[in-house]
Structure 1
């Protein structure tokens, strides 16, 4: 599949110039169709056939295999969640927090990566230490100082504020040397460039399928390193969390399945698998090379308003304007979809492989000189 074929398969692009995939991607027809087809089979055929539960579990197993393959891990190391925020909360709720424990996060994190720790500060007297950054960059000396007595370090692989790629593996090494675990928010990376969650060495990686993978809402993923379980205290439990739900004494699944509690719709994960196969059919090399060309074009047109890196790191391009919210509304009136940011106060455009030069030019024309 080439980018033009992908573009033609996305109905929303007939109605607007869409440059907001970093918030939520527009789904292709085949992705939505995969979910719809499953729902109909599950509701109409399964009750009189194999049964709703076997059909659902088989669909989840197949989707898990596709998703794990895309993320470079084993199916047994991957739990399905509802979103990135849900996956982050699964980790937060499985650590036996003690008063005075330290969580280190960057000032580049999405609220999904800040609110759980703020809540722990209120409920468990956990200290939340914030790493200050400059234009989306970490100072590694500051990292070493901050994590020296930390229990958990939280960072994004690719920042939603500036589109910068953070040195995840280096931070992981520093944190592990200090005795801390690491949770990575990878939702802006997956679907933009190849991601092998095992190469980072992180204990946990949270992500979701509704952004750059172009899936539908409701499919989150949580990778858990097998060595991380010994430092967790599992509290959530349900029939899908255990090896044998009919046993007199429960035993959690050895792998990440222990985080999955009970009945949930497989439809978002069926769509996720279809979305992954669609992006893989386009090719992540194609995604990266096309996004690089298009973002170069956009950055050249923005000039000194650009707040993201001048060289390519991602499809997220942040730029300054006098009134970000008014600019977003004005562009929306022209059928161009972008978003404003609170920190920094700016506008962010997201450029994906389905976009083209005409989209970029329309955006630049709408922004004005």
Structure 2
């Protein structure tokens, strides 16, 4: 599939210039049709066929395998969630916190990677240490000092504010050498560049499909290594997360699947499978090459307003504006969808493989 063929399948793009995939990607028809087919099968055929629960379990297992293959981990190490925030929250609630425990995060985290630890600060007396990561630069000595004695280190593989990539493997090694567990927010990476969760070596990675994978909202996934999972006590327990729900002495599943509790809709996950297949069909060489060329064009046009690095980092590009909220609203009125980023007071543009040079030029002309 070419980028042009993908674009032709995306009705949302007929209504304006969409440069906000970092918030949520519009789905192509094939993804929507996959979800519609899944809904009809589940409600029309499964009840008197494979059975409602039989069809559900089969759909979830298929999704788990597709996701696991895409990020290079074992299927059993993947729990299906509703969002990245959901996945991070499940890990936070499952750890055994005591007063004085330390969590380390960067100053570029999304609220999903900030609020759980602030809540733990209030409820459990947890200490939160913050390390600077602007421009994707993390001082290694500062990071090493911060994670010394920490229980958990949390950071994003790609900053949602300016699109910079962080050295996931290196930061993970430093934190784990200090005895800390590592939780990575990878939602801005999956779908716009190839990722290998296993190679990163983190104890847990949370992500979702509704951004760069072009899947429906509600399609989160959480990778947890078996060694870490066995130390986690989920806040909620249901029949899907235990070995034998009928046993008097039931045991939690020994892996990430302990985070799954009860029945969920299989419908959005059909869209996730199709979203993954679509991106893989286009190919990551094509995705990254096109994003790099378009972001280079955008950065050249922005000139001194550019906040993100001139070098290629990702499809997220931030620029300065006197009034970011007003600028985003004005662009929206002109049919160009971007978003303002409150923590940094900037406007962020998201460029994906379905975007074109005309999209970039329309934005620059409007500015």
TM-score, structure 1 normalization: 0.98
In 2: Cα distance, 1:247 partner to 1:288 partner:
50
- 1:69-116 deviations in whole A, cap 9, x for unaligned? 001111001000110000001100110000000000001000011001
In 1: Cα distance, 2:203 partner to 2:225 partner:
5
CA shift, 1:343, in A, is 2.0
- What is the aligned partner in structure 2 of residue 82 from structure 1? 82
5+ residue gaps, structure 1: none
CA shift, 1:285, in A, is 0.8
In 2: Cα distance, 1:12 partner to 1:347 partner:
21
Query: Moved runs in structure 1, 4+ residues, more than 3 A?
Result: 133-136
- What is the aligned partner in structure 2 of residue 24 from structure 1? 24
5+ residue gaps, structure 2: none
In 1: Cα distance, 2:239 partner to 2:267 partner:
20
- What is the aligned partner in structure 1 of residue 316 from structure 2? 316
Alignment of 1:220 onto 2:220: yes
Secondary structure of 2:352's partner?
coil
- What is the aligned partner in structure 2 of residue 174 from structure 1? 174
Q: Is the 8 A contact 2:157 2:167 kept in 1?
A: yes
Alignment of 1:138 onto 2:127: no
- What is the aligned partner in structure 2 of residue 350 from structure 1? 350
- What is the aligned partner in structure 2 of residue 56 from structure 1? 56
Secondary structure of 1:182's partner?
strand
In 1: Cα distance, 2:314 partner to 2:133 partner:
18
Alignment of 1:240 onto 2:240: yes
- Aligned positions of 1:1-369 closer than 5 A: 1-367=1-367
Secondary structure of 1:80's partner?
strand
Q: How many residues of Structure 1 are paired with residues of Structure 2 in the alignment?
A: 367
In 2: Cα distance, 1:45 partner to 1:107 partner:
50
In 1: Cα distance, 2:260 partner to 2:233 partner:
15
CA shift, 1:233, in A, is 3.0
In 2: Cα distance, 1:38 partner to 1:233 partner:
33
In 2: Cα distance, 1:175 partner to 1:93 partner:
21
In 1: Cα distance, 2:91 partner to 2:152 partner:
10
Q: Is the 8 A contact 1:136 1:161 kept in 2?
A: no
Q: Is the 8 A contact 2:79 2:223 kept in 1?
A: yes
In 1: Cα distance, 2:62 partner to 2:231 partner:
29
In 2: Cα distance, 1:331 partner to 1:234 partner:
44
Q: Which moved more, 1:58-67 or 1:222-231?
A: 222-231
Provide the alpha-carbon RMSD of the alignment: 0.9
CA shift, 1:269, in A, is 1.1
Alpha-carbon distance change, 264 to 230 in structure 1, aligned in 2, over 3 angstroms? closer
CA shift, 1:63, in A, is 1.1
CA shift, 1:135, in A, is 3.2
In 1: Cα distance, 2:99 partner to 2:61 partner:
39
CA shift, 1:260, in A, is 0.1
In 2: Cα distance, 1:87 partner to 1:123 partner:
20
CA shift, 1:47, in A, is 1.3
In 1: Cα distance, 2:209 partner to 2:266 partner:
13
- 1:48-87 deviations in whole A, cap 9, x for unaligned? 2221110111111111111110011110010001100000
- 1:328-348 deviations in whole A, cap 9, x for unaligned? 111111100000011210100
CA shift, 1:245, in A, is 1.5
Q: Is the 8 A contact 1:157 1:165 kept in 2?
A: yes
